Structure 1
Amino acid sequence: MAHFLIILHILTAMLFLGPVTVAVSTFHTRALAAHNGEDNAKGAASTLYKITQAYGNLSILVPLIGFAIMFTNSKFWHEGRFHASILLAVIAWVLLYFVIYPRQKKMMGALGLLEADEQAAETYEVADWDKAKGQLSMFGGIFSLLWVVIAILMMWH
């Protein structure tokens, strides 16, 4: 059972964390380009926003499966690298859900690209687009770096 869960853990990491990391890393550039009048950038920003949302939510399976793996063998409970990985994954999701998602939504709303009900629910405004792009770039980089550190911890013996 442990081998099956490990394979599933690795597959979900590749299939879900890869796309969300790329989307988080590129959304802000396409949103700024859309703000600057590039029509094709609006479609790209919308797609990247949806990828961030969908794959970000699905990627919660990665640490859940990892946590399940810890129950297959007691040796996993005695290795600090697994505990550190879980902590870093929680930090990454807090960053994604409470910092990156809201900032992306604000930019999408300011561009008028949200679903009609979301667009009508609130007034969205971005005062400084370059600053907003820079902040999303920074937070996206931290999010990506956390996953790199987690991957290194998983492979470290």
Structure 2
Amino acid sequence: MSSGRPFKIPESVLVVIHTPDLQVLLIQRADADLHWQSVTGSKDTLDEPFELTAAREVWEETGLAVQAPGCQLRDWGLENVYDIWPQWRHRYAPGVVRNRERLFGLTVPTAQTVRLNPREHVAQRWLPWREAADQCFSPSNAEACLMLPRFLP
């Protein structure tokens, strides 16, 4: 990378943040018009457990603490492997074209305003799970929203 930053690790998390009544938080990417998504992010190190990546990314992107009262982070035990979009491949080491993504759900007590990192996201909204799926730009994110009812306690 020309910026001197280390390359991204092609192992990431997708965290669907939702309320008990299946309202899903979507956040709008700052670097892509009209791209709404759940929390996503890559591991900081190869040995970082996915659960720690999920907790860190939720905190960095929303200000929500997964261990706060009424919150519950669940590893869905599912992974997606997908091609990294060409416009974002420069963030990865030369020749890296695929990413492995682990899916999580985070139950929060109520829909609430979150603290966005303005370098990453510019808007937020809570939608019923089916509507959230319709708004996701990523097919794997949409599918995760549609699977949400299967992973409720």
TM-score (norm 2): 0.29
Q: Which has the higher strand share?
A: 2
Q: Which has the higher helix share?
A: 1
Instruction: Name which structure has the greater RCO, CA cutoff 8 Å, separation 6+.
Output: 2
